[in-house]
């Protein structure tokens, strides 16, 4: 369970203010996958980072019971001069999991071949993403924060990513950001739409998708029109 209480966040860029969280209060249920939808720039990734604790809110609080992942697939925290295997071992030590099992899981899953034992600074962006997804899936969390990661790689890797994610979500919850409506329909039970700093929650993902698609066309859904 993750609970937002009066969460507020505003950016200022070139003197222009952009509010992505306007007094948000909401409870993400335990062991349920929730789709997080919204236009580009609505603040979806910012919300995930605040929940993960890697970004501070201006005000408000976030509570959770159980373990919560970092945004799955995030590659920005890898040490560029360490190899992929060394980075995996480092993360294993931080989270208290078996280092050998972690290194072997990531090696097999990411499929980086000899590059796994080369410095991460030599990796392409795609290789970094594969490493990051493998590291994320190697640790069991009660709630996964997922931001467009299953779009990484070729068709075979995407299929493998979706398969292991579905397996993890049999016993864990998730908050999933994706531009693929088919993926959200497949993975999520409910959904929330983020728009102008406000959150609109729906118990069925299909209803949230419908709201989102109206927004993408530049209009409001019928149930919100006066």
20-55, pLDDT tens digit by residue? 999 999 999 999 999 999 999 899 999 999 999 989
Q: How far is CA 219 from CA 70, 136, 199, in A?
A: 34, 37, 17
Q: How many structural domains compose the chain?
A: 1
Q: What is the mean pLDDT of the chain?
A: 92
Question: Is 60 part of a structural domain of the chain?
Answer: yes
Q: How does residue 10 score in pLDDT terms, banded at 50, 70 and 90? A: very high
Nearest to 58 by CA among 2, 15, 18: 18
The per-residue pLDDT for range 12-24, each reduced to its tens digit, is 888 889 999 999 9
% of the chain beyond a pLDDT of 90: 72
Q: Is the pLDDT confidence value at 195 over 90?
A: yes
pLDDT at residue 14, as a whole number: 85
Per-residue model confidence (pLDDT) at position 73: 66
Measured in degrees and rounded to the nearest 5, phi and psi for residue 148 equal 60, 25
pLDDT range class, residue 149, cuts 50, 70, 90? low
Mean pLDDT of 173-180: 93
pLDDT score at 225: 83
Residue 118 lies in a domain: no
pLDDT at 150 over 70: no
Length of the chain: 226
User: Is residue 120, in this structure, part of any structural domain at all?
Assistant: no
CATH number at residue 25: 3.40.50.300
Tell me whether residue 81 is in a domain.
Answer: no
Contact between 24 and 7 under an 8 Å Cβ cutoff? The reply is yes
The verdict on residue 36 lying in a domain is yes
Phi, psi of 93 (to 5 degrees): -65, -40
Q: Is residue 153 very low, low, confident or very high in pLDDT (cuts 50, 70, 90)?
A: low
Q: What is the mean pLDDT of residues 94-116?
A: 95
**Could you give the angle at the alpha carbon of 145 between the alpha carbons of 5 and 220, nearest 5°?**
65
Domain that holds residue 2: 1-67+177-226
Of 39, 41, 70, 47, nearest to 145 (Cα)? 70
How confident is the model at residue 110, as a pLDDT?
93
Question: Is 114 within a domain?
Answer: no
Is 105 a domain residue? no
Residue 94 lies in a domain: no
In percent, the amount of the chain with pLDDT more than 70 equals: 96
Given a cut of 70, whether residue 68 has pLDDT beyond it is yes
């Amino acid at each position: 369970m993750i609970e937002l209480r009066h969460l507020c966040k505003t950016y200022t860029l070139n003197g222009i203010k952009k509010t992505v969280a306007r007094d948000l209060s909401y409870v993400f249920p335990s062991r349920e996958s929730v789709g997080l939808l919204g236009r580009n720039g609505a603040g979806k990734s910012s919300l995930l980072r605040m929940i993960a604790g890697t970004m501070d809110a201006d005000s408000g609080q976030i509570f959770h019971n159980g373990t919560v992942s970092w945004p799955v697939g995030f590659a920005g925290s890898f040490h560029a001069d360490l190899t992929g295997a060394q980075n995996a071992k480092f993360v294993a030590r931080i989270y208290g999991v078996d280092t050998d099992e972690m290194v072997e899981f990531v090696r097999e899953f990411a499929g980086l071949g000899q590059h796994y034992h080369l410095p991460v600074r030599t990796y392409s962006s795609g290789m970094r993403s594969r490493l990051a997804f493998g590291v994320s899936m190697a640790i069991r969390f009660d709630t996964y924060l997922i931001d467009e990661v299953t779009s990484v790689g070729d068709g075979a890797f995407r299929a493998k990513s979706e398969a292991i994610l579905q397996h993890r979500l049999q016993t864990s919850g998730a908050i999933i950001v994706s531009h693929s409506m088919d993926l959200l329909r497949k993975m999520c039970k409910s959904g929330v739409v983020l728009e102008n700093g406000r959150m609109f929650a729906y118990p069925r993902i299909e209803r949230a998708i419908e709201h989102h698609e109206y927004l993408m066309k530049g209009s409001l859904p019928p149930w919100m029109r006066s």
